[in-house]
């Protein structure tokens, strides 16, 4: 191994065996040692996603995520596939509203070849015109496929109207118009502006040694030039719009609906109350919406709520699929549950059940090296620190019924509720009065 300068200043977490080192070029490397496992998961994370794209480049984050797999200066796509299979690895990637991630999971014997693969993927893509043209066709088909999925379409329509005119509301995949317009210079320019040390975090978890791993990462990423400051401007939190949108699509058998309100950002002090409120409202089989609308009334097969927190804003949304003649009843029952959370404090037994469910999800979600790797990167990017499981559980336990009720009153304001309804609606009409809770 060539002599690569390794910084001596590395901070350490005594509770989770977490260490962090900043390389000379500014790349942050995080590791969590898990001596009880035989796997190692590693990921290159970019602290930007589709919400950080200009309008004319909507979808380019997702496009570049696909394109790096098409070939590098040393490997083509087939060689990548063969080498990943030869070490029994699992190589994957995803693009979100605020992140892009490239990750691989292997046995601890294969750290070196896995690191060579993921670094080559991230650092040396070729972006040939031929590959760009082919991938544009692939993404356009992906867009068509998602538009043929009613539950995806109602969520996408809701999001676009909820954050109307802002990049957070635009589709992660982009549009037919934007994707068709991507050129090789635009792809290279975007890559150069985002794939920089100040916008990256390299996280790894599993059966590894921090110092040895950092030395290997430093060598693999030595060609990545140093950068300073932010390579692009992150816009302030967008406004939300409480629109009622009725989108008619006669070919659908079911009516899809999505109802939501603005919610706290990911680092809000009320985030644990938010998770518990969501759990009691519509996350799980014992939740109020599931029991009232599916079990008691038989009005829907699928109904749930979900919290979507981002760095500066968020949404709490409710989804249901039902028949056209039952749509208003489902909306009224949903509004009734929101009203009940505002007017009545939840019973201790229900709150305890939600806490036990949340604590279980937290603990079980950290059992694998891949989940620990993701947890490391997300906590660094959103909080700049790492939380022990016991600390998180203590925060969950500290939430009381009054906290939940106060949050419900802040969230469920009639003038803040947005609604999207999709399907063969006939004469269906929904007024603002119907959303009064």
The owner of tokens 């981002």 is 310
Sheet with strand 255-262: strands edge to edge: 244-248, 418-423, 255-262, 314-322, 303-309
Give how far Cα 408 sits from Cα of 26, 124, 189, 205, 319, Å: 42, 49, 44, 37, 18
Distance between CA atoms of residues 121 and 128, nearest Å: 14
Helix (H) or strand (E) holding 316: strand 314-322
| Catalytic residue status for 65 | yes
Torsion of CA 370, 285, 394, 383, to 10 degrees: 50
Q: Which residues, 6+ apart, have CB-to-CB distance to 78 below 8 Å?
A: none
In degrees to the nearest 10, what's the CA dihedral of 170, 251, 246, 262?
-40
Q: What are phi and psi of 170, to 5 degrees?
A: -80, 155
Are the C-beta atoms of residues 71 and 18 closer than 8 Å to each other? Answer: no
Structure tokens at 41: 């998961």
CA atoms within 13 A on the CB side of 176: 6
Q: How many CB atoms lie within 10 A of CB 31?
A: 29
| Distance in angstroms (rounded) separating the CA atoms of residues 88 and 37 | 16
3-state secondary structure of 419: strand
Q: Tokens 């390794």 sit at which residue? A: 6
CA distances from 435 to 136, 255, 414 (A): 41, 18, 6
Of 12, 53, 56, 65, which one is the catalytic site residue? 65
Q: Check if the beta carbon of residue 241 is closer than 8 Å to that of residue 313.
A: no
Rg (CA), the chain: 23
Could you tell me the CA-to-CA distances from 424 to 159, 243, 327, 421 in Å, in that order? 21, 20, 11, 10
Pair of tokens at residue 247: 């989108």
Determine the Cα–Cα distance for residues 184 and 382; give it in Å rounded to an integer: 32
Kindly list the distances between the CA atom of residue 172 and the CA atoms of 163, 176, 380, in Å, as whole numbers in the listed order. 14, 12, 23
What positions carry a catalytic annotation? 65
């Amino acid at each position: 191994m060539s002599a690569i300068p390794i910084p001596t200043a590395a901070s350490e977490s005594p509770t989770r065996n977490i260490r962090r080192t900043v390389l000379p070029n500014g790349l942050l490397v995080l590791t969590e040692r898990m001596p009880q496992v035989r796997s190692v998961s590693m990921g290159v994370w970019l602290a930007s996603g589709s919400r950080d794209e200009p309008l004319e480049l909507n979808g380019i984050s997702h496009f570049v995520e696909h394109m790096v797999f098409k070939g590098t200066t040393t490997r083509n796509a087939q060689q990548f596939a063969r080498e990943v299979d030869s070490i029994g690895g699992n190589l994957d990637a995803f693009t979100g509203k605020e992140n892009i991630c490239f990750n691989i999971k292997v046995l601890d014997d294969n750290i070196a070849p896995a690191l060579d693969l993921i670094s080559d993927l991230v650092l040396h893509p070729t972006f040939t015109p031929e590959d760009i043209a082919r991938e544009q066709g692939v993404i356009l088909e992906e867009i068509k496929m998602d538009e043929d999925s009613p539950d995806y379409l109602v969520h996408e329509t809701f999001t676009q109207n909820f954050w109307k005119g802002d990049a957070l509301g635009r589709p992660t995949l982009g549009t037919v118009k934007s994707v068709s317009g991507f050129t090789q210079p635009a792809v290279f320019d975007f890559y150069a502006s985002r794939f920089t040390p100040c916008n990256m975090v390299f996280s790894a978890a599993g059966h590894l040694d921090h110092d040895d791993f950092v030395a290997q990462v430093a060598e693999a990423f030595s060609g990545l030039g140093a950068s300073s400051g932010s390579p692009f401007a992150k816009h302030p939190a967008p406004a939300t719009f409480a629109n009622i949108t009725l989108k008619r699509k006669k070919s659908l058998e079911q009516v899809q609906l999505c109802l939501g309100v603005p919610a706290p950002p990911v680092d809000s002090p009320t985030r644990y109350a938010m998770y518990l409120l969501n759990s009691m409202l519509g996350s799980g089989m014992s939740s109020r919406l599931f029991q009232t609308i599916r079990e008691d009334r038989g009005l829907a097969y699928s109904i749930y709520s979900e919290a979507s927190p981002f760095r500066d804003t968020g949404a709490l949304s409710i989804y249901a699929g039902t028949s056209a003649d039952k749509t208003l009843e489902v909306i009224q029952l949903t509004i009734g549950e929101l009203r009940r959370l505002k007017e009545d404090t939840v019973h201790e037994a229900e709150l305890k059940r939600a806490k036990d469910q949340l604590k279980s999800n937290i603990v079980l979600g950290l059992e694998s090296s891949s989940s620990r790797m993701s947890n490391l990167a997300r906590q660094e990017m959103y909080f700049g620190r790492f939380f022990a499981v016991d600390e998180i559980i203590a925060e969950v336990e500290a939430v009381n019924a009054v906290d939940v009720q106060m949050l419900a009153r802040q969230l469920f304001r009639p003038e803040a509720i947005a609604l999207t309804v999709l399907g063969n609606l006939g004469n269906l009409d929904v007024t603002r009065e119907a959303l009064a809770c």
